[in-house]
A and B are shown apart, each in its own frame.
Chain A
Amino acid sequence: MNNKQNGSHRHADVLVTDPDLPPVAVDPQQAEAEDRRWTPAKIALWLGIALLGGVSWAVLAIVRGETVNAIWFVFAAVCTYLIAYRFYSKFIERNLLKPDDRRATPAEYKADGKDHAATDRRVLFGHHFAAIAGAGPLVGPVLAAQMGYLPGTLWIIIGVIFAGAVQDYLVMFFSMRRGGRSLGQMAREELGVIGGTAALIATLAIMIIIVAILALVVVNALGESPWGVFSVSMTIPIALFMGVYLRYLRPGRVTEVSVIGFVLLLLAIIGGGWISETAWGVELFTLDRITIAWGIIIYGFIAAVLPVWLLLAPRDYLSTFMKIGTIIMLAVAIIVTRPEISVPAVTEYATTGQGPVVAGTLFPFLFVTIACGALSGFHALIASGTTPKMIEKERQTRFIGYGGMLMESFVAIMALVAALSIDRGIYFAMNSSAAATGGTIEGAVAFVNGLGLTGVSLTPEALSTMASNVGEESIVSRTGGAPTLAVGIAQIMQGVFGGANMMAFWYHFAIMFEALFILTAVDAGTRVARFMLQDSIGNFVPRFRDTSWRTGAWICTAIMVAGWGAILIMGVTDPLGGINTLFPLFGIANQLLAAIALAVCMAICAKRGFFRFLWIPAVPLAFAAVVTITASFLKIFSPVPAIGYWAQHAAFRDALAAGDESFGTAKTVAAMEAVVRNTFIQGTLSIVFVVLSIIVIATAILATIRSYRAGGGTDSEDPPVASRVFAPAGLIATPAEKELEARWAALEPGGRPARTGH
């Protein structure tokens, strides 16, 4: 390897350290020596982690008892994450990214105390985690639980190590080296006009579908639930109050107002319980799903055009507060209660593809059903943008990027455990579409018992008892994952706090926090998409570039809301069950975005000339591309109507042409026409996504080959600037880092380039 490519020698002429200051980076050789020094205690520690992880995996994968305890999922996940973080992410750091702490980050060389502000690594880890974690990792694993616990667990853990965390880490690092440029800008630079434009259109289309399907999850959770409708709609006045409080009463008291908001939120949940027991409350707040969908569409438009301080920012504070609190609480509760799980390791649905929750076999549909938690393309939009502008030192990207995604994966594992801990009969009754169960207890019992699952015999009493325990009229066909997860969380939480009497509270608490995440994602997604659209239209009509131009903002917001709103209404009214047919599209869209991000990363690595380790982004890219393109092709070309959108389309069209008045689960001609229309839209979207992604991936491969022939390429990084600050890289400072920290702390305050943070 020549000097130009070796991280520690690159730009040696520019990166001169100020002789009056202590070193700004740990000496690479000293760090290397520290890494390679294996003391007996260190060996024992890692052997212990490996052994515990190995035993846990053996229990999950090989030992076949009646039940398996949830604690083994926690141990298997945590031990594997630790090993991956310590060894694989370090391998990537050393061989592929080669961060150089002598180089200033954008937070240092563009410091303005506002958008570009160096932030303590632990705080930034929390920020970044709060930005990437949402409802996605909570919902996907629930739906995938129909294939048994093992496929989902394996994919969440292995997927995050080799794909998801790698994507987040690489995108964050490359964006940081480019002053915090967005994924779209990087795609344009690396892939040229065609690839860049395709990436931009794909991103916009994917954002629309993701927002639509997230909104559909909320609608399904709130439909016919007066309690849920009341408490979730109360989040709007609560957020408005918080916004006014922060603007006029006590600016900057973010934690204080979040605590107040949280207390009000708890009151809203308790109040929802009272209201759902009064006749007027039930009458007022029992809304059908179409009304709720329209409510969310109108809300989404208003939230995206209102000033941020009034609704979006306070809601975001509340959502962050809930996110951190609830996730810690759930982890503690799972460890305390350690539920027994009686789901088989692998069910027949993995191979037959006839699962009632989401149709399709394990390959490829498991990998698109669980998107977030294992590999989520949406993260690439977060990891390029805000976070890279706040990183203090280059080497911290491993902890924040790779480590942050491991944390999200752990959330997905907890969601999986929560979903697995509920009775299987109830699981299938809740997650089979109303088209299959008829929406009634008798229908659900007949359908679930007719599935012929060993060990499952559902009674009508089990369903009605569970419904009354969680304070709902019915739990049959509450599809979308959120209600199932809420039942699982309620069961786990009541084991720690409050017992069976508190179950209804915990159920609605869980529904509330999922809805809160999703509505925050809907607001923010609509707003971000609007800006992207304004920027794109601005290429043709320059006036649209001006984001403060009201008319332009309203037009673009309306276009975006109309886009996701139409898909939402389509999903709500779909005679085939909506979420069950649409969810694969969500996963496919998200994974295709991941493929685009990884393709851009691969092209960048090739330009840097690191061909030996190009497999680090290329392997997950190949996997994501194969999975999503196969899934898309199945959705487009499969002759099985349950899987192929066009096969379904043709079947219903033919039935209409033959003069049938009902077909399958569509009981009227209007319903049949709806299926024909919906499958046309879904099929078209599948084609659009896959074609755009193939263009992006192909241009990335071409760019990579070009770089290979030329032995590298001109890199598009910002010019290096010498750093004048020091901070440790990981969560815990190493001895060498502590020594440097002490030397920096001993500097006269006047001589020290002051840092933010403590």
Chain B
Amino acid sequence: MTMPQVLTRARDTAREVAWLFKGIMGENAYQAYLDHHERTHAGGLPMTEREFWRDKMDRQDANPEGRCC
């Protein structure tokens, strides 16, 4: 493998790791929501990012998730 190839490979791997980590932290929830909204062509505009996170927190208020011991 030549040097540029190695670099490309390394960059891709780093991107994958970052994507995975952000996913586990829950950061791409808004993107998932946008994708869903676009795919289903649900009526009206999607929530803005700020609205979405507020709504997410309010939903968590009503449906708490357990955390294990």
A residues with CB within 8 A of B = 111-115, 117, 119-120, 122-123, 126-127, 130-136, 210, 214, 246-247, 251-255, 258, 307-309, 312-313, 316-317, 319-321, 324, 372, 376, 378-379, 381-382, 385-386, 518, 520-521, 523-525, 527-528, 531, 547-548, 590, 753-758
Contacts and interface: CB of A to CB of B under 8 A. Distances in A.
Contact of B37 (A113, A127, A320, A520): A113
Nearest to B37: A113
B25 interface: yes
A112 B63 CA distance: 16
Interface in B12-69: 19-40, 49-50, 52-57, 59-69
Secondary structure dominating the interface of B: helix
A125 to B, nearest CB: 8
Contacts of A135: 69
Contacts of A247: 53-54, 57
11 contacts: A114-B56, A132-B68, A252-B53, A254-B26, A308-B57, A320-B25, A382-B67, A523-B67, A524-B65, A525-B67, A548-B62
Nearest to A120: B23
A665 B62 CA distance: 47
Ordered nearest first, which 4 A-B pairs have the shortest CB separation?
Answer: A113-B36, A126-B24, A123-B23, A309-B57
Given A112-B36, A115-B63, A251 B49 contact: yes
A131 B57 contact: no
A252 B25 CA distance: 11
Contacts of A127: 24, 26
A254 to B, nearest CB: 4
Contacts of A111: 36, 40
A144 to B, nearest CB: 16
Contact of A317 (B25, B35, B56): B25
A126 B37 CA distance: 25
A126 B29 CA distance: 14
A149 B50 CA distance: 52
Contacts, number: 149
Contact of A531 (B59, B64, B67): B64
A255 B25 contact: yes
Contacts of A123: 20, 23-24
Contact of B33 (A114, A255, A319, A521): A114
Interface residues of B, number: 41
Contact of B65 (A114, A258, A385): A385
B23 A754 contact: no
Contacts of B63: 115, 531
Contacts of A122: 20, 23
Contact of B66 (A524, A590, A757): A524
Given A309-B57, A524-B66, 15 more contacts: A113-B36, A114-B29, A117-B32, A132-B68, A136-B68, A252-B53, A254-B27, A312-B60, A317-B25, A324-B21, A521-B69, A525-B69, A547-B62, A757-B23, A757-B32
A210 B69 contact: yes
A379 B68 CA distance: 7
Contacts of B60: 308-309, 312-313
A242 to B, nearest CB: 12
A252 B36 contact: no
Contact of B19 (A312, A527, A758): A758
B25 A254 contact: yes
A585 to B, nearest CB: 13
Contacts of A133: 68
Nearest to A253: B27
A372 B26 contact: no
Nearest to B63: A115
Consensus secondary structure, chain A interface: helix
Contact of A754 (B21, B38, B65, B67): B38
B20 A528 contact: no
B28 to A, nearest CB: 8
A435 B50 CA distance: 55
A521 B30 CA distance: 26
Contacts of B25: 254-255, 258, 317, 320-321
B61 to A, nearest CB: 5
Contacts of A525: 66-67, 69
A112 B47 CA distance: 13
A385 B67 CA distance: 12
B69 A252 contact: no
Contact of A313 (B20, B40, B50, B57): B57
Contacts of A120: 23
Contact of B64 (A112, A251, A528): A528
Nearest to A307: B61
B69 A214 contact: yes
Contacts of A130: 24
Nearest to B57: A309
A547 B36 CA distance: 28
Contact of A524 (B24, B26, B62, B67): B67
B53 A246 contact: yes
A131 B67 contact: yes
A756 B36 contact: yes
Contact of B20 (A126, A312, A754): A126
A527 B64 contact: yes
Contacts of A757: 23, 32
B67 A316 contact: yes
A126 B23 contact: yes
B53 to A, nearest CB: 4
A753 B40 CA distance: 9
Nearest to B23: A123
Contacts of A382: 65-68
A113 B67 contact: no
Contacts of A114: 29, 33, 55-56, 59
Contacts of B39: 753-754
A251 B50 contact: yes
A320 B28 CA distance: 15
A209 B37 CA distance: 43
B33 to A, nearest CB: 4
A254 B68 contact: no
A520 B69 CA distance: 9
Given A117-B32, A307-B61, A758-B19, A521 B68 contact: yes
Contact of B68 (A131, A255, A758): A131
A246 B60 CA distance: 15
B47 to A, nearest CB: 10
Contacts of B66: 131, 378, 381-382, 385, 524-525, 528
A217 to B, nearest CB: 10
In this complex, the member of B22, B39, B52 whose beta carbon has the largest number of chain A beta carbons within 10 angstroms is B39
B19 to A, nearest CB: 7
A521 B27 contact: no
Greatest chain B CB density within 10 A among A111, A253, A308 is at A308
B21 A252 contact: no
A699 B49 CA distance: 49
Contact of B21 (A119, A255, A523): A255
B49 A590 contact: no
Nearest to B61: A308
Nearest to A306: B61
Contacts of B36: 111-113, 117, 756
